[in-house]
A and B are shown apart, each in its own frame.
Chain A
């Protein structure tokens, strides 16, 4: 027993760097938190004003009834695919390099889902009647599929974030980190017994499998909100997978940005190595190419279909009032990241950061390009105006981003952003396991010289 605690203490020292921000939070942390809280509070005040006066305080209008709120809703929910999907898929495929990044990815998912999930409420004319969705819900409405899918995803990804955190929380509890009650409560009686470990691993495996189809369903269903209508530019069968691909693209980009920022702030160079960025950025490159393939198919069919109302939306984006946003989207999602990430010389940390930021911006533009131009070009020939978001909408957007950062700041204040026990597990047994696994993949060794008799038999006659 004595011996074991010794090694544990040694290991704590090894990963002390990960525990430092929790046990010695500085002034910088308090200043950032207060600043973000202030932004958040201002956002709530502005939202209160919108409730008081009505949605008229936004820039929305009669044909363009959905604007920034829905754009941001789709965007934030898209980012949420970072997490769970990457972490779950990497865990499922036993990619050993995942260990230092899964936690961050999962945190992104949970934080961003909470923000994105709130956006439809921002968009309601009568948020006070929100519960009508449950008391008078209509199953045929894609919005209801959305509510169910996002709630399921939020619950699943919260559990999926929490379960692998238990051993780390127990570690903090055992070190006596304050606030003790929090860690004692959240550690859920973890004693690191073999049985507990078996149960934990099983729970993680179940959640990881469960979360993948739910994540895919979430963005498919969001695309259905648009695709189930007759509107030109929306009524498309490709929308489901197109949205999922875009979501994963923006998710990886957001994860890379978060990784690079946290690596810098908490000096995590020992943990987040170049190899992680290299692997992830190659994944980003693949998704970017896939995104282009989907976009190309989507617009090519619209163009060749030659339907007047479709074409109006098409040219509204290609050469009309939205041309700037459309081509900026193509540049940000495809041209710039592909150029940067294709060459080893530019696939450096700053290069990856630039590519990731442009992808995040580009995916936001993509959502804008989907939501607004279709509504701005109704089938009937109304003289339509132009949608310009109001200050309230910008404020809500900034509030959303502030909430995202705040979520991360608070998480990093109380929990390690890198899974410590998984790193340890990696150090202790993965190397051996991986070698064994690799050996299983390789062809069996050549059979021992038992083949001889065959030859002999041929020679006998």
Chain B
């Protein structure tokens, strides 16, 4: 059984935000616009989390790329009243947009604030809607949505592998954020495969996860910066 995971090397990450833009494009995210962003309704599946560290008078601000962490023990799934969000057998937390009633309990329960809500009917500037990625559904207003580790790309890789009569190999699935990272800071793959790149990175000494003490078991790992 596969267990998809992601490793983000903060030593390589420059905080450029290309992953964010790629995610937006790939997953047909609506543009919140300046007015709604001012009202704290910015719309990103992958966010840049600002972190400050102080060393004496020196303040250093970094940005951590933060997708949905696809927890193994997801607090959002536990509270959903209608099975709209669920953990699939490959470890991805899915969201059934057609079933979500928009109660936003999952958003209130998620300690990482990974989910976003469609406050209005989504709009795309110009003819962007016609050029939407056909592999990803357009979400209506009033539902919660989230990062899926580019689940459509996983499915496509699996289908291609089946046509060619082989297993999905490490590196077959590359989410949009990883694909567009100019410094290749994001690695993606099967955590259950000991030979995969993510498994090897995860066994290194620099690995940490955000708020591990909560017991949510996120499947997004960070590699700390070297001294």
Q: Which residues of A contact B (CB under 8 A)?
A: 53-56, 59-66, 120, 123-127, 129-130, 132-133, 136-138, 140-144, 147, 225, 228-231, 375, 378-385
Contact = CB atoms under 8 A, between A and B. Distances in A.
Of B83, B116, B144, most buried by chain A (CB within 10 Å of CB) is: B83
Given A55-B119, A62-B40, A137-B81, A143 B49 contact: no
Contacts of A64: 40
Of B80, B109, B112, B116, most buried by chain A (CB within 10 Å of CB) is: B109
Contacts of A384: 40
Of A378, A380, A385, most buried by chain B (CB within 10 Å of CB) is: A380
A54 B119 contact: yes
B108 A66 contact: yes
B36 A132 contact: no
Nearest to A143: B81
A59 B62 CA distance: 30
Contact of A61 (B41, B49, B79, B100): B41
Nearest to A125: B102
Given A53-B120, A124-B103, A228-B79, A61 B111 contact: no
B211 interface: yes
B49 A381 contact: yes
B214 A125 contact: no
A54 B79 contact: no
Contact of A125 (B51, B82, B112, B144): B144
B80 A124 contact: no
A141 B117 contact: no
A62 B44 CA distance: 11
B88 to A, nearest CB: 16
B127 interface: no
Nearest to A56: B119
B162 interface: no
Given A138-B81, A228-B79, A379-B211, 11 more contacts: A55-B142, A56-B119, A66-B104, A120-B103, A137-B81, A138-B83, A141-B81, A143-B105, A230-B75, A378-B113, A382-B47
Interface string B29-41: 0000000100111
B118 A129 contact: no
Contact of B82 (A53, A136, A225, A230): A136
A380 B49 contact: yes
B16 interface: no
Interface of B: 36, 39-42, 47, 49-52, 66, 75, 78-84, 99-105, 107-109, 111-113, 116-121, 140-144, 210-211, 214, 216
A133 B113 contact: no
A62 B113 contact: yes
B101 A126 contact: yes
Contacts of A65: 104, 107-108, 117
Given A142-B79, A231-B111, A55 B41 contact: no
B196 to A, nearest CB: 28
B101 A229 contact: no
A63 B141 contact: no
A229 B79 contact: yes
11 contacts: A54-B120, A56-B141, A125-B101, A125-B118, A136-B83, A138-B82, A141-B81, A229-B108, A230-B109, A379-B112, A380-B111
A312 to B, nearest CB: 13
A135 to B, nearest CB: 8
Contacts of A143: 79, 81, 103, 105
Contact of B78 (A55, A62, A124, A141): A141
